[in-house]
Amino acid sequence: MEVESNTGIPFILQKLRINSEKKFKHERVGYEIQQSIKFYLTPLNKSFKAQYSHIYYMRYLNLSKRFENNSNDSQFIELIQKIQNQQGTIKAIGTIFKEMKLKPYYFSSNSNKTLQNYVSNEDVCYLEDSSGRVKLQIHNAILCLPNRKDKIVNVSDLVTGITLMIEGQIVANNIVKVERFYLPQLPEAPLFKPLNLTSYLCLISGLNYNASECTTKYRHMIDYMQGNLYSGEGSEIPYNISQVIILGNLYSKLEEPIDQQVQNPQQDFKGVYSKIQLNIKGVDELISQLVSVTPVAIMPGVNEPVSQMFPQTPLHRSFFPESLEKSKQLIFLTNPSEFSLGELKVLGTSGQNIQDIKKCSLIKDQSDVDLLEMTLFYGHIAPTAPDTLISYPQQKQDPFVLSELPNIYFAGNMSKFGTKIAAENVRIVSVPAFSETGTICLINLHTLECFPVHIQ
């Protein structure tokens, strides 16, 4: 459904005057978010005394149970270390480790931290388990997907952290030429219990608010949510929005000074602090207007003043004094976040997991929503954590393993809007940055239909 076509500023201002008073007086229906504690890490789980090997072991332990393998199959090797004594065709389960020459090493003098992509022709893939590793030769291997749509892959298409089963020929000592890759089976399809009333979940990401730039677009967004911006077909939709979720990057990223040798560091700090203060106050004002009409939940992103380690902790309430004073409809979520909305299960991130996959692979002809779908097929929403996506070490669990499928799965701060039904009763959505596209996404909680709304 197209809600709003390309419109110019004069049209918008005209509609603002026409619709200065709300035409729909009925009360909005809100649904309380019941957040899971899956991504809330206790101080004990944030300890750095543990090794990162534990999280890979727990990942392997969980996902290896989901493969179809016959114990009577003579080709199947239970432990990778036993491959060296085998010949011919073998099958084995393990986790991919991709050795990348350009990958940044933070304790190296030549860290390549500014690179946007770490892929090179010298990259090598290994398959690992707790017993050892084997080198993989990959040339146009077949990746068998759970949706039965096979695809051709090479080393550049894979990333570290994917647990899969290989089928291939032993060509040398501890070297396997891979013919096929198999991914773990998907968990059971979730139940879908449509809400009785037509209501919408609104997803917004990448406000990137900068008080020193024009803020007209943000004001128009608030006007749309209040029902004052548009009077054509679909003008009743804003009044049926029962929940807004902001998917990280509320604040703009501060530009680093071109001149690294600042003449007056104290004065420079005051200037930066003043900009941060204005941005925080401006976002608080926007959110305070938003929570006056509909419940709002906020997830942190890479630009927020919280730990950058996955999973990110919620933003602190002190950043939103005006919003919390006006309404109790504002809550703060982790990133990633898993929660229920009515009878629907929802899972989402602010986009770091997809952005990091892009850095570690050369994905050709794949949109953001396709990459999001692949994380469902991997059974893991952040396979590159903790290798290139920094995360907390875990001893007893890998919180990013998909134990069940959600009804709605989203990622924010993507390059463009995209959506599809990835499995039965599973809607996935890539949400673009609002500051760049002026796009918000609406999901009908009665039908799982999803569409963008463009605001200028």
Instruction: Give me the tens of pLDDT residue by residue for the chain, a chain 456 residues long.
Output: 444 444 443 444 344 334 433 444 456 666 789 999 999 887 666 667 778 888 999 999 999 999 987 667 888 988 898 887 788 899 999 999 999 988 887 655 545 556 778 899 999 999 999 999 999 999 999 999 988 889 999 999 999 999 999 999 999 888 999 999 999 999 998 999 887 778 999 999 999 999 888 888 999 999 999 888 766 677 788 999 999 999 999 999 876 554 455 555 555 656 677 888 899 999 999 999 999 999 999 999 999 999 999 999 999 999 999 999 988 889 999 999 999 998 899 999 999 999 999 999 987 668 999 999 999 999 999 999 999 999 988 888 899 999 999 999 999 999 999 999 999 999 999 999 999 999 999 999 999 999 999 998
In a shared domain, residues 19 and 145: no
Residue 363 and residue 225 share a domain: yes
Q: Is residue 54 part of a domain?
A: no
Contact 422, 410 (CB under 8 A): no
Phi-psi region of 92 (alpha: psi -120 to 50; beta: other; left: phi over 0): beta
Whether 254 and 397 map to the same domain: the answer is yes
Predicted local distance difference test score (pLDDT) of residue 411: 98
pLDDT at 3: 42
In sequence order, what are the residues at sequence separation of 6 or more whose Cβ sits closer than 8 angstroms to the Cβ of residue 172?
Answer: none
Please give the span between the terminal C-alpha atoms of the chain, in angstroms, as a whole number. Answer: 18
Domain boundary among 182, 200, 220: 182
* DSSP states of 219-267: HHHHHHHTT-S--STTTTGGGGEEEEEEES--BPPPPPPS-SS-S-HHH
Q: Within a domain: residue 355? A: yes
Q: Are residues 177 and 214 in the same domain?
A: no
Q: Look at the chain and report how many structural domains it folds into.
A: 2
Whether residue 133 is contained in a domain is answered as yes
Residue 50 counted as domain residue: no
- Determine phi and psi for 369, rounding to 5 degrees: -70, -30
Based on the number of CB atoms within 10 Å of its own CB, is 84 exposed (0-12), middle (13-18) or buried (19 or more)? exposed
Kindly state whether residue 420 falls inside one of the protein's structural domains.
yes
AA identity, residue 333: L
- Give the CA diameter of the chain: 79
Co-location of 270 and 372 in the same domain? yes
The neighbouring-strand residues paired with 432 are 414
Are both 275 and 139 inside the same structural domain? no
CATH number, domain containing residue 173: 2.40.50.430
Which structural domain, as residue segments, surrounds residue 442? 9-43+189-454
Element spanning 124, H or E: strand 124-129
Do the domain assignments include residue 176? Answer: yes
Q: Does one domain contain both 311 and 436?
A: yes
Say yes or no: 150 and 224 in one domain: no
Residue 138 lies in a domain: yes
Domain with 405 in it: what CATH number?
3.60.21.50
Select from 162, 182, 202 the last residue of a domain: 182
175 and 282 housed in the same domain:
no
Q: How far is CA 443 from CA 35, 49, 237, 241, in A?
A: 19, 42, 11, 9
| Same domain (yes/no): 140, 197 | no
Domain boundary residue, one of 182, 206, 235: 182
Q: What whole-number distance in Å separates Cα of residue 143 and Cα of residue 309?
A: 31
- Residues sharing a CB contact under 8 Å with residue 267, sequence separation 6 or more, in sequence order: none
Residues 290 and 197 in one domain: yes
Question: Are 348 and 232 found together in one domain?
Answer: yes
Instruction: Output the pTM of the full model.
Output: 0.88
Q: Which of 425, 372, 438, 63 has its CA nearest to residue 217? A: 438
Q: Is 16 part of any domain?
A: yes
